[in-house]
Amino acid sequence: MPREMQENTLKTLKQGQGNGQVFNKQRMTIFPKWYVYNHQNPVDAGAAYEIIPGSDASNESKWNCFGPQCPALSGSFDLTRFNVSFWQNFEHLLWQMREMGVIADIILFHPYDGGHWGFDCMGGRNQSEYNTTNDKFYLQYVGARLSSFSNVWWSMANEWDCWNSHSCKGQGVSRDNGPSPVWDELFQELVAADPYRRMTGIHNGRYLYNHSQPWITHVSLQGRESETPQLRAFYGKPVIWDEVQYEGDIKDSWGRLSGEQMADRFWWGSALGVYVGHSETVLHPDMPDDDHQPLWWAKGGTLIGHSPQRIQWFRSLWEGNSSRPSFGAQTYSALNSSGGTFAYQMSSNGYVFLRFVQAGLWKVPLPTTAPKGWSVRELDYWNMTVIAVKDVAPTAQFVMLQASSAPYHVEIVSKSPTILEQLLV
């Protein structure tokens, strides 16, 4: 992106929509994208590699191009010589993000090149003869330059299995937890290049990589929300919903969540014991065409959606509040009736959080007795309020709750004076 867009992105990460920081992790690519809403050559920032003299990319009229008519520049880059100014700028961005406490979840490879620059398949496009030499050299360089940043995480690839249909790195990839020889080889190279063993994951499309591999620290998940409890138990590793679709109004189904739906994804994930990521694809008015749309999802800049302030409020409820349990200190369960699941529950000593997925009057068991009883409160995630509903006797074993709609969020808190003081909103 142009330098002005980079600066606007950093400002938004720091200030949110004017009310302070909202997010503490940003997924970001190294290689540019050639994709819907994203057809431009990276003139200001340059590319990760030096341009070969006399190549198409050395022609300013071709390099300074905007729109799907731009000519392909594959073969214009020397994959043995890195563009130092690009990497210096990248490090400067990481440093600024570290200063504001934001994790840079760096996407090392992605399949949205389409052969335009050739960075997706640097070892050739023939899957059966793919050569990983250039990919390994790149990973050695990335590890040497960036692993010392304490705020760096690695995402080996975004929608890693898309290379199965786009050839090159997809050799042997066929199903969840199946073989993935090229990716296994690249992971081993990354591990060798990173002496600090930064958090490392890989983002799925159709298939799940084998997250039981020792180099995987967490599950970076797209979709499969209903399978999440089983995946947490199967892999025994933290789960992050890195893509839950986006708040927006573009024509593609993955970018048409309402602000309410996007904000609720965070409450839904918490009820299942997972972390959640946000993005938006809200169209800006008066843009001449799709490629000029400054969508946060792929370009950064500014946030104009309705969910960030609600997510900021959600975050404020959990941070700096010792009575709400940290992840890993509680249990999760699905509450069922004869008609199926009606709520998901997170509970620990003296605290219960519920996300109802069905409206109705429901019987909710209480985990323990509370010497001073329980306080039941509705959490209005859209209006950002906590509303007292009822008190429950100390000896109660269950409470009847009316979910007027779904989703519906409730917390049940022990009336211990300490806990109540900590939870006052």
Domains of the chain: 3-318 (3.20.20.80), 331-423 (2.60.40)
pLDDT tens, position by position, 358-380: 999 999 999 887 889 999 999 99
Tokens standing for residue 289:
């065409």
Q: Closest Cα partner for 404 from 393, 417, 424, 389?
A: 389
Q: How far is CA 180 from the centre of its chain?
A: 23
Q: Which residue has the tokens 């792929």?
A: 298
Which residues, in sequence order, are CB contacts of 129 under 8 Å at separation 6+? none
Tokens standing for residue 2:
């142009």
Mean pLDDT computed over 376-388: 94
* DSSP sequence for 150-193: TTEEEEEESSGGGGGTS-GGGTT--STT---HHHHHHHHHHHHH
CA–CA dist 334, 362 (Å, integer): 13
pLDDT tens, position by position, 287-346: 999 999 999 999 999 999 999 999 999 998 888 665 677 776 788 899 998 889 999 999
> Does position 226 have pLDDT exceeding 60, yes or no?
yes
Q: Per-residue confidence at 348, pLDDT binned at 50, 70, 90?
A: confident
Task: State how far the alpha carbon of 207 is from the alpha carbons of 33, 107, 130, in Å.
Answer: 22, 18, 21
Output the pTM of the full model.
0.94
Rounded to 5 degrees, what are φ and ψ at 350?
85, 10
Given this model, what pLDDT does residue 424 score?
47
Task: State how far the alpha carbon of 262 is from the alpha carbons of 81, 202, 244, in Å.
Answer: 42, 23, 8
- What single letter denotes the amino acid at residue 360? G
Q: Per-residue confidence at 82, pLDDT binned at 50, 70, 90?
A: very high
The percent of residues above 70 in pLDDT, for the chain, comes to 96
Q: Can you count the helices (H) and strands (E) in the chain?
A: 10, 19
